């Protein structure tokens, strides 16, 4: 699956299975909202290990600035990708059936010292935040993107300030 045809993607979104896409598409939506070019594809650590290494090794040379990697269960994908590239790797624990994503979370967050993976919340919130984090990384070198991020935060703040509560039932 390669869901985008952006000629020069800045962010790679990879995931262990197409069953992760309902979660990981939250990252893609954020990047699209901010006008950040991305690619999204299935790369499995244990089912396509050679592809995983090829992808990680080629990523910087292809112009990617960050990789968002999501996986569920014994989720080695973010850590193994981080082992093969010095690009920032943003790990998203996908909610698993057996352990509700606790397994994914611990597999991703407990990287031994030396190979970092920035780990996000389990599920859709984590994927969306990984997208926002990638935007923040890119905004360091892009004032327009930084302004869009400020505007997003301001809208979000306004939404909460405008919240009204109904009378108690
Ligand atoms: C992992 O196993 C994937 O990241 C996915 O979260 C999980 C289940 O994969 P499928 O059996 O749905 O392909 O590799």
Q: Is 142 in the pocket of ligand 1 (CB under 6 A)?
A: no
pLDDT of residue 3: 55
Structure confidence at residue 2 as a pLDDT band (50, 70, 90)? low
Cα 45 to Cα 41: distance, rounded to the nearest angstrom: 13
Structure confidence at residue 164 as a pLDDT band (50, 70, 90)? very high
Average pLDDT of the chain is: 96
Closest CA to 42 of 69, 14, 23, 66: 14
* Residue 70 CA, ligand 1 centroid: distance in Å: 10
Residue 5 has pLDDT above 70, yes or no: no
Q: Is 42 in the pocket of ligand 1 (CB under 6 A)?
A: no
Return all residues near 161 (Cβ < 8 A) that are at least 6 apart. none
Cα 136 to Cα 145: distance, rounded to the nearest angstrom: 8
DSSP letters, 152-164, are: HHHHHHHHHHT--
- Sequence spans of domains, the chain: 11-161
Structure confidence at residue 7 as a pLDDT band (50, 70, 90)? confident
Closest CA to 77 of 2, 12, 8: 12
| Positions of E strands within 8-124 | 11-15, 38-42, 66-72, 89-94, 118-119
pLDDT of residue 4: 55
Q: Report the pLDDT averaged over residues 138-157.
A: 98
Cα 30 to Cα 10: distance, rounded to the nearest angstrom: 13
Q: Is 123 in the pocket of ligand 1 (CB under 6 A)?
A: no
Given the candidates 3.40.50.2300, 3.40.50.1370, 3.40.50.1970, 3.40.50.620, the CATH classification of the domain at 11-161 is 3.40.50.1970
Q: Is 88 in the pocket of ligand 1 (CB under 6 A)?
A: no
Express each pLDDT in 32-91 by its tens digit.
999 999 999 999 999 999 999 999 999 999 999 999 999 999 999 999 999 999 999 999
Q: Report the pLDDT averaged over residues 112-119.
A: 98
Q: pTM of the full predicted structure? A: 0.96
* Residue 20 CA, ligand 1 centroid: distance in Å: 7
């Amino acid at each position: 699956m390669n869901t985008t045809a952006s000629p020069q993607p800045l962010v790679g979104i990879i995931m262990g299975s197409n069953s992760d896409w309902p979660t990981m598409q939250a990252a893609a939506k954020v990047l699209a909202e901010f006008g950040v070019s991305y690619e999204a594809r299935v790369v499995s650590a244990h089912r396509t290990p050679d592809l995983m290494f090829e992808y990680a090794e080629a990523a910087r040379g292809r112009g990617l600035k960050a990789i968002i990697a999501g996986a569920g269960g014994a989720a080695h994908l973010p850590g193994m990708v981080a082992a093969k590239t010095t690009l920032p790797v943003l790990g998203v624990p996908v909610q698993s059936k057996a352990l509700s994503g606790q397994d994914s979370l611990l597999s991703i967050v407990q990287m031994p010292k030396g190979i970092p993976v920035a780990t996000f919340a389990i599920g859709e919130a984590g994927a969306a935040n990984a997208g926002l984090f990638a935007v923040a990384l890119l905004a360091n070198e892009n004032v327009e993107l930084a302004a869009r991020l400020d505007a997003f935060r301001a809208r979000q703040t306004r939404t909460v300030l405008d919240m009204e509560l109904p009378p108690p039932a």
